[in-house]
Structure 1
């Protein structure tokens, strides 16, 4: 319902007409939302415009604030929505993408000015920069999420990204080691790296834990009696330094059963660590970390990677990332006959579908073994 009134003005009549339409409360600020238009010579003119706006409101096509810049909106989206939905490290990546890629190319546009053609041009620019399709897909996802919220907040009527096809990043081909290559690597690492690195490499290849999970492990997380490692935290290192954070997903908090070889490896390493700790005395920064520098402080991720690459080179093995120890572990589990469900739980994946998608390359071997097992069973005499 529109409310009309006379407003004093410097014209022959001495007044003009204005109207106000109430739109309820702003979902963000809680303040009243109103549409006000002024400067009509007659009430009839005001009524025509008011009726037009009310029709747009009824059809959900009316935009209250058509002057919001993308740069302003996406910053608000980061602080109000994204910051509360994703992990700290992911949020930092979001902010980096917004600052370095989205705002420089699109930030000056008003939200209601952005059309599919602008997004196509945006993607073309990113491709011209030489960015990978996978990274562009990631940037697109961040922008899409912010524009969806603009629709929810009634700043735009529809998401202009809906009609744009983003380049789909090629599925990563994971490089993993064989059982023989794993054993060779660990034997070499024992002699070319410090005990802490041999211990962490062994744990990585025998549990499939993520790098941050490994570096965040404390001795309180290991139960030698039950041969179990409790994964409870993640070590983060960025421009703010070291700190402990939550795990990647809720399912990442898990208990991993370890076998005798890893148990003995960790016990042996612990003795060495205690000897160093006693030698340093008060100089040792005791944070109860399993994998730490000689003075007890956390290990830099880059230092871990450098030692991993050096041991790989010395062992003359195919180069893989430290994270590929996780994929190697999972692949060997599946080849050993462990079920996909057990692998999912051990790795801390949120769904079995994720596990199946990542390790689809192992499926042919599993199928062949399953067929063989069935054939062998059918040959058995009753």
Structure 2
């Protein structure tokens, strides 16, 4: 075997004999982590080339893709340049693209964009993630505060996709985000930071809906359908009359109205498939069917166009979907108005100058908590988690069990009591 010596750091090209004839291999040693000299080096070998020139070409590719110094000498593109190019080549749903661009613009490019791609090392990523966790928020009111572990994990996943594309383009030989030393937030940390859910009790649901109907709240039917179906906000807004099967007493969840916020293209509404990507059918009780029929008659009294199969059940008067965030704010206002009415009634019952009993006030919750209320009440009634998963449209039952784990101990106790009654 013969060896052609090269300058230090350039590696070597070796010739060796096989049954098929002479072949050449390129061999070098490179730092495991350029930012951490103590991490040592690793041996890189590429063989099977029929000519020395082919081996040398592969050697240059390896050195260019891994050596920061060499990359800079050759005027390598920055990570920010690559991010722009990578995003431009994607063909995904517009809301997904808007989310990717936002994460890149706020949490990736500012800190990492000026680096050459080989300089985006596991150590660099780990440091970046810790900085985001400490003060990574960029929104108007809380800039500089801690960024949630869930968002940091999304940043990590996106960087991993970008670097995987860089590997495919032969710009680097490894994906730094896949290395254990990148240290993104763990799933355990993400779960620990999840906000608590605040479902209403059945009496609180009844009190709110009774007030909403009596007060002439124009959104009463929407709030009732939301809590009775467990549908997501966008799914409620995406319902059309064609989705209601009066014979089978079911409603099909086929679409969702989402708000797309794009720094480049502005804000607009889009209609897309449900979050799971699949349609689902939800069985309705007689009271919910009657409620929807009443609402359809009201819509038809305004305009027959608002009761046609393709009309949105909860659309505006021009038959356009409602703005999701305004819809949520309307719910918040309805809850606050209900609470004020309850306070006034409690004060009147207590009498002038006496403290009112406010324990019966409906708690302040988010619109999404109506979905949690739907699931929690069903679980408390002993409905199978599998049925609830299907109604909510979760991709798998583990999601349902994870979100509503707070109800499971009660179900366990009820199951024990039932068994005891059977065996008594």
Q: Same fold (TM over 0.5)?
A: yes
Indicate whether 1:123 and 2:141 are aligned: no
- Structure 2's unaligned 5+ residue stretches are 1-23, 25-50, 136-143, 261-265, 340-361
Match 1:218 to one of 220, 240, 246: 240
- Counterparts of 1:194 and 1:103, CA distance in 2: 46
| Contact 1:285/1:295, CA 8 A, preserved across alignment | no
| Contact 2:258/2:324, CA 8 A, preserved across alignment | no
| Contact 1:222/1:230, CA 8 A, preserved across alignment | yes
Indicate whether 1:106 and 2:112 are aligned: yes
Corresponding residue for residue 39 of structure 2: none
**1:1-32 CA distance string (max 9 Å, x none):** xxxxxxxxxxxxxxxxxxxx9xxxxxxxxxxx
| Contact 1:221/1:231, CA 8 A, preserved across alignment | yes
Indicate whether 1:75 and 2:84 are aligned: yes
Corresponding residue for residue 363 of structure 2: 318
Indicate whether 1:136 and 2:145 are aligned: no
Where 2:321 maps in the other structure, the secondary structure is coil
How far is the alpha carbon of 1:98 from its aligned partner? 0.7
| Contact 1:71/1:103, CA 8 A, preserved across alignment | yes
How far is the alpha carbon of 1:115 from its aligned partner? 2.0
Corresponding residue for residue 165 of structure 1: 183
Where 2:258 maps in the other structure, the secondary structure is strand
How far is the alpha carbon of 1:79 from its aligned partner? 4.0
Indicate whether 1:63 and 2:72 are aligned: no
4+ long deviations beyond 6 Å: 47-50
Where 1:63 maps in the other structure, the secondary structure is helix
The 10-residue stretch of structure 1 (120-129 or 105-114) with the greater mean CA deviation from structure 2: 120-129
**1:33-85 CA distance string (max 9 Å, x none):** xxxxxxxxxxxxxx98975665688xx8873994242123223433445x44x
Match 1:175 to one of 178, 198, 210: 198
Tell me the TM-score normalized by structure 1: 0.76
Counterparts in 2 of 1:25-64, with a 5 A limit?
Answer: 51=55, 54=58, 63=65
Tell me the TM-score normalized by structure 2: 0.69
| Contact 1:199/1:266, CA 8 A, preserved across alignment | yes
- Counterparts of 1:225 and 1:124, CA distance in 2: 56
Corresponding residue for residue 332 of structure 1: 377
Corresponding residue for residue 101 of structure 2: 95
- Counterparts of 1:277 and 1:180, CA distance in 2: 35
**1:317-341 CA distance string (max 9 Å, x none):** 2222111211111111111111111
- Structure 1's unaligned 5+ residue stretches are 1-20, 22-46
- Counterparts of 1:262 and 1:310, CA distance in 2: 24
Match 2:227 to one of 183, 197, 205: 205
Corresponding residue for residue 237 of structure 1: 259
How far is the alpha carbon of 1:187 from its aligned partner? 1.1
Aligned length: 323
Quickly say closer, same or farther: Cα 1:240–1:338, change in 2 above 3 A. same
How far is the alpha carbon of 1:366 from its aligned partner? 1.3
- Counterparts of 2:395 and 2:130, CA distance in 1: 34
Quickly say closer, same or farther: Cα 1:277–1:117, change in 2 above 3 A. same
| Contact 2:197/2:372, CA 8 A, preserved across alignment | yes
Quickly say closer, same or farther: Cα 1:285–1:298, change in 2 above 3 A. farther
| Contact 1:193/1:307, CA 8 A, preserved across alignment | no
How far is the alpha carbon of 1:93 from its aligned partner? 1.0
- Counterparts of 1:324 and 1:52, CA distance in 2: 62
**1:188-237 CA distance string (max 9 Å, x none):** 22234543x11111111011111111111100100112110011111233
Match 2:281 to one of 252, 255, 276: 255
Corresponding residue for residue 42 of structure 1: none
| Contact 2:241/2:307, CA 8 A, preserved across alignment | no
Match 1:268 to one of 270, 284, 294: 294
- Counterparts of 2:405 and 2:303, CA distance in 1: 45
